[in-house]
Amino acid sequence: MADTYKLGDLVWAKMKGFSPWPGKVIPARESVKKPSKKHCHFIYFFGSENYAWIETANMKPYFKYKARLMNANKTSTFKEAVDCIEKFIGENNVENENQTS
């Protein structure tokens, strides 16, 4: 079953030509045209502070894939992005919704 996302969810979002990047599903900005593809979410990218429409197929839940993806890219900008999302999680008491018992 495919993952579903709602506003505020933390994700790994993949744009063509880039490694998966930590992001957050946010409300769409009126100034950014929605693509014709139906299953897209508007994503804020941590670190770069950019945003884009991303297809659901190119998104993964942040906590579920954290161990696998947080070392996928060794650049300083990627490490900064991971630091930013982790700081956001700590400051906002975001819980890991994918914990298993």
What's residue 33's pLDDT?
83
Residue 1 scores a pLDDT above 60? no
Looking at per-residue pLDDT, the higher value among 1 and 49 belongs to 49
Provide the pLDDT for residue 97.
Answer: 65
- Three-state secondary structure string covering the chain: CCCCCCCCCEEEECCCCCCCEEEEECCCCCCCCCCCCCCEEEEEECCCCCEEEEEHHHEEEHHHHHHHHCCCCCCHHHHHHHHHHHHHHHHCCCCCCCCCC
Q: How confident is the model at residue 95 (pLDDT cuts 50, 70, 90)?
A: confident
- Residues 18-63 have pLDDT tens digits of 899 999 999 998 888 888 877 899 999 999 999 999 999 999 999 9
Residue 99 pLDDT grade (very low, low, confident, very high; cuts 50, 70, 90)? very low
pLDDT the model gives residue 2 = 60
| Residue listed under structure tokens 């897209």 | 40
pLDDT on residue 94: 86
Query: If one looks up domain 10-91 in CATH, what number appears?
Result: 2.30.30.140
